[in-house]
């Protein structure tokens, strides 16, 4: 999984829509448009999440190889800028989990406990301090 807001980190098959950029990327996008960038609809897929300023992601699990779990929470990310999260490689078979989903139907009691720990960590933060700037209805 990759979390990024840098165009150089995006996979070659992914293109940004002009409405998806803000800040310094506006200048970059203007350059792309001046070069003849063919504007398409925003790319959608089950392996792509659009993260907006103010969003949060909590990574839950047990301590593992250099990553310490505190009460079931491995990491809590707060976004101050818009970003893209994508998972690769993505196989659409039923044997693999969808990015962000449970890997086997209903979560186990341990999975439920981890989700509750993640929810509690998120709610302790209170409301987000940032919010995304949306343009053109995007």
Residue 137 lies in a domain: no
Among candidate residues 69, 60, 46, 40, the one with its CA nearest the CA of residue 108: 60
Half-sphere exposure of 45 (CA within 13 A, CB side): 16
Contact 32, 55 (CB under 8 A): no
Residue 10 lies in a domain: yes
pLDDT of 93 > 70? The answer is no
Residue 86 lies in a domain: yes
pLDDT tens string 6-61: 878 888 888 888 888 777 788 888 998 999 988 888 888 777 888 888 889 898 88
pTM for this predicted structure: 0.68
Residue 136 lies in a domain: no
Residue 40 lies in a domain: yes
Q: What is the DSSP letter of 99?
A: T
Residue 58 lies in a domain: yes
Among candidate residues 23, 21, 37, 46, the one with its CA nearest the CA of residue 96: 46
Residue 131 lies in a domain: no
Residue 71 lies in a domain: yes
pLDDT tens string 3-13: 888 878 888 88
Number of domain units in the chain? 1
Pairing assessment for the beta strands 83-86 and 2-4 based on DSSP bridges: antiparallel
3-state secondary structure of 64: strand
Q: Domain span at residue 27?
A: 2-124
Name the token pair of 113. Answer: 């406990």
């Amino acid at each position: 999984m990759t979390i990024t807001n840098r165009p150089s980190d995006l996979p070659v098959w992914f293109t940004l829509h002009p409405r998806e950029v803000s800040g310094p990327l506006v200048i970059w996008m203007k350059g792309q448009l001046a070069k003849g960038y063919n504007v398409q609809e925003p790319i959608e897929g089950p392996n792509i999440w659009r993260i907006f300023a103010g969003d949060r992601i909590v990574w839950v699990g047990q301590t593992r190889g250099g990553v310490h779990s505190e009460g079931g929470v491995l990491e809590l990310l707060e976004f101050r800028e818009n970003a893209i999260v994508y998972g690769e490689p993505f196989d659409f078979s039923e044997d693999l989990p969808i990015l962000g989903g449970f890997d086997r139907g209903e979560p186990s009691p341990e999975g439920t406990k981890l989700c509750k720990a993640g929810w509690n960590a998120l709610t302790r933060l209170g409301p987000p301090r940032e919010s995304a700037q949306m343009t053109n209805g995007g």
